[in-house]
Amino acid sequence: MNKLLELSTTELSNLISTKKISSEELVSESLNHIKNNDPKINSFITVLEKDALNKAKELDNKLSKNEIDHSFLTGIPIMLKDNISTKGIKTTAASKILENYVSPYDSFVTKKILNNNGIIIGKGNLDEFAMGSSNETSYFGVVKNPWDTNRVPGGSSGGPAAAVSAGFVSCSLGSDTGGSIRQPASLCGVSGMKPTYGTVSRYGLIAFASSLDQIGPIARTAEDCGNILNVISGKDNNDSTSYEKDFNNFNSKINDDINGLKIGVPKDYLKNVDPKIKTILEESIKEFEELGAVVEEIELPLTEYCMDVYYIIAPSEASSNLSRYDGVKYGFRSSNKDNSRASLVDSRSEGFGDEVKRRIMIGTYTLSAGYYDAYYKKAQQIRTLIVKEFYNAFKRFDVLLAPTSPTTAFKINEKTNDPIKMYQSDLCTIPVNIAGLPAISIPAGFDNNLPVGIQIIGPQNGDQKVIQFAHKFQENTKWHLKYPKI
C-alpha cells in the first residue's frame, strides 16, 4: 500500500494545502487500492471512480489558480455510509427495497462536504437500514474485517470502518443509533465518534430511530474526527433537533493538559466483557494516570436495563419510520398486482430482510394498543432515569472510560441465529445513545492480532473534552498507527 494511504486526514489536508501532493494523486492512489483490494473486503456499495477523479482534477486546477480557499476536506476522498442521501447517486441503506433508489436530494452533511470541496469517493456498506452489529444483514453481502477476513467488521457502519482500516480512505461518515460508529471502529482498529445528539443534522439520513440516530466521523485519529465535525456540524432548519454549539472548534482543547482531570470507570460496563479486553482497559487506565488524570470507579446501576430500554425505543421508532416503504412513491414494488393492499404487503415482505422485519414486528408490538404504556412509555420513563444517572456522574467526572465492545471481531455467521446474542454486542455503546451523549472509540491494544477499542464518554456537549482525552491518549500510544495486511 502506498504510504500516502497510511496518513491521517489531518496530515493529508496539510499536504494538499501546502501543495506537496495533489488531490488527483491521492484520489488515484485510493481508487487503485480500492480496485485491487476491496473485492476482498466488500466495504463499498458504490465507487464513484470517474466523478471523484474529475472533481480532483478540477479542484487541483482551481487551487493552483487560487480560485478557491483551502478548507479541511478540500481534495480529500471520503466515503459516506449508504444511508446518507447523495443527489443523483444510489442511496440504498443496503436494502433490497432501496436497491435502485437514486436520491433526488443531498443530505445536510453531503452538502457540507461538497461545499467544502471534499470528494465523495463512494458509498459504504452497512447492515440493512443500519440494523445490526456485524454488517451481516446487508443485502449487498457481509463486509469482511481487514484484520481477519473470516471475521465481521462490526456494524452497522461496517463499510465505513473497514474502508478506513484497510486504507481505502482516510475518513468516512457513519451513523450511530446504538453503537453503529463506535463498535465497528473498535473491531476494525480505527477512531470513530458519535457526537452529542443534535450536533449534526439528520436531514437526508435514512431514518432508523430518530431520537437516537446521529451522524459522525470515522478516521485514523481523534484529531481527524474533530476536524471533520467542524465541517459537518451546525444548526439546520430541516432538522428541528439540530442546534448550534456555543463553541465553533471541536479541537480547541486538544493541546490542553488532562493533568488533574477526573475519569470515571463504570464497573457495570465490565460484567459481560472478555477478560483480555478488561486487561487492555486497565492498561489504558494506567496510561491516563501517567498523563496525570485521576481515575476512580463509579456505579451506574441502570446500565443493565439499557439494552432492553433500547430494544423497545429503537424498534418502536423504526416501525414508524419504516412504514413509509410502501412500493408506491419509490423503492421496490412486488410483482403482485392484485390490489394496492396486496402490493403494499408483498413489496415490504419481499423488500425487507429478516432483521428489519423482526424489528418492525417488535416495534409494532410495543406501540400497539394495550401495550404502549407497559413498554414504550415505560422505556421512555426509564430513559429519563438513565439521563439523570449520567448527569449525576458528570458532576463528579470529566469523562467516563469503558470498553467499546465486549468482544473483539467475531467470526462471520457466529451470531446470526441468535438475535439476543447479537444485540449484546452493543451493551457498552447503547447507554450513550439513550442519553444523547458524545463518545469516541479509539484503538487501545490487540488480542490475538484483533484490535480492541476503548470508549471515552463525555457529558452532553462535552464533545471537545472527549476529543481532548482521546487525543492525549493517541499522542502517547501507537495503537492507532497499526495497519492490517490485506
Partner 1 sequence: MKISKKEFENLSKLASLSFESNNENIVSDLEKILSRFESLSKIDTFNVEPTSHVTSLENSMREDKTKTILSNEEILQNSPENTSGQIKIPRVFDNE
**Footprint of partner 1 on this chain (CB under 8 A)?**
101-102, 104-105, 197-198, 211, 237, 240-241, 243, 302, 305, 308-309, 311-312, 319, 323, 326-333, 336-346, 348-349, 352, 354, 357-358, 360-362, 364-366, 368, 374-375, 377-385, 387, 419-420, 435-436, 460
Residues designated as active site? 81, 156, 180
CB of 435 to partner 1, least distance (A): 6
For residues 209 and 321, the answer to whether their CB atoms sit within 8 Å is yes
Which residues have CB under 8 Å from 289's CB, separation 6+? Answer: 295
Three cell numbers, residue 88: 443523483
For residues 13 and 228, the answer to whether their CB atoms sit within 8 Å is no
CB of 157 to partner 1, least distance (A): 21
CA separation for the pair 7, 9 (Å, rounded): 7
CB of 46 to partner 1, least distance (A): 16
User: What is the Cα 422 distance to its own chain's centre?
Assistant: 18
CB of 464 to partner 1, least distance (A): 18
CB of 297 to partner 1, least distance (A): 23
Helices (H) and strands (E) in the chain, counts: 15, 11
Residues constituting the chain: 486
State the DSSP H helix or E strand holding residue 159, giving kind and residue range, or none if neither: helix 158-166
Using omega within 30 degrees of 0 as the cis cutoff, is the peptide bond preceding 320 cis? no
**Is the CB of 278 or the CB of 377 nearer to partner 1?**
377
Which residues have CB under 8 Å from 45's CB, separation 6+? Answer: 82, 90, 92, 94, 122, 123, 124, 125, 140, 159
